[in-house]
Every structure is written in C-alpha cells, then in structure tokens.
Chains A and B, each alone.
Chain A
C-alpha cells in the first residue's frame, strides 16, 4: 500500500521536475519549485508513517519553512531585482 502511494507521489514529483527543467519563463520555474517542495513535505510525512519514526515530521516542518522562504525571496527578485 505504502509502496504504491510513494510511487504515485514520485511520479508527480518527476513530472513537476520535467516542468522545472523545461519551463518557458522564470515564474514557471518558481511555481514548479514551490509545487515540488510541498510534495516533498508530504513525502516526508508518508515516510514517517512508513518507518514509524517521528523525527521526519520535524524535518518536514523545517523543509516547508525553507521552501516558503525561497519562494518569497524569488518573488521579490522577479518583482524588483536584487
């Protein structure tokens, strides 16, 4: 059951990664990166259920925080430059 769920999630991650590599503009790349980072947060939650260890949840929280910070900084860079 968990193997099927992880395979479907990794398929979604790889389709988004294709979008990230083949994007027409910079905004598309940032959107694809944001999508991948939220998918990785869910993947860490599923891995914590799979291995029955709870420290993956802390890693998921910090990863979500850093992904949000990266997206915000890139949005500011697109809008105003450095």
Chain B
C-alpha cells in the first residue's frame, strides 16, 4: 500500500517538472524564467525523493542526503544567476 502512495508522489513530482519545462517556454522575461525554474524543480525533486523513500524505506538516508543537498544548492544557484543577469 505504501508503495502505491509513493508512486503517486513520484507522479506528482514529475508533473511539477513538466510545469517547469512549459514555464521555461512560456514566460516572457529572464527573471520570471529563473523564478519558475527554481521553484518547480525544488518541489518536484522533494516530491520524487519522498515517493522514493516511501516505496523503498531502506535507502532513506541517501535519499535524505540528496534532498538536503538540493534544498541548499538550488536557491543558491538561482541567486547567482539572477545577480549575474541584471
């Protein structure tokens, strides 16, 4: 049962990635593209990692390490690009 809830979380995360890709095409400005790319990829990665933790609980430590790393570095890289492209 927990596996199928995990698959649902992974599907939601992948749909967030699809929203991110469509937003990269549709948005009019550089800063709005940076905005949508950072937010949707962060929530998509966190949802995929939560789903993977639910469907395979013995790998939780490595998955939590990847999630921690994404949560630190993703706003930082977005900030660097936004400051450089003003």
Query: Cα distance A39–B76 when bound, in Å?
Result: 17
Question: Bound state CA distance, A37 and B70, in angstroms?
Answer: 11
How far, in Å, is B73 (CB) from chain A's closest CB?
A: 4
Minimal beta-carbon separation of A35 from chain B (angstroms): 5
* A42-B22 contact in complex given A27-B84, A28-B30, A68-B77, C-beta closer than 8 Å: no
Whether the pair B18, A8 counts as a contact (CB closer than 8 A) is yes
Tell whether, in the assembled complex, residue A38 and residue B14 are in contact, meaning their CB atoms are under 8 Å apart: no
* A49 in contact with B55 given A35-B41, A64-B70, A65-B69 (CB within 8 Å): yes
Pair A19/B69 contact, Cβ less than 8 Å: no
Contact A57 B59 (CB under 8 A): yes
**How many B residues have CB within 8 A of the partner chain?**
42
A42 is contacted by which of B17, B21, B81 (Cβ under 8 Å)? B17
Interface residues, chain A, CB within 8 Å of chain B? 1, 4-5, 8-9, 11-13, 15-16, 18-19, 25, 27-28, 30-32, 34-35, 38-39, 41-42, 45-46, 48-49, 54, 57-58, 60-61, 64-65, 68, 71-72, 74-76, 78-79
Residues of B with Cβ closer than 8 Å to A?
7, 10-11, 13-15, 17-18, 20-22, 24-25, 30, 33-34, 37, 41, 44-45, 48-49, 52, 55-56, 59, 62-63, 65-66, 69-70, 73-74, 76-78, 80-81, 83-85
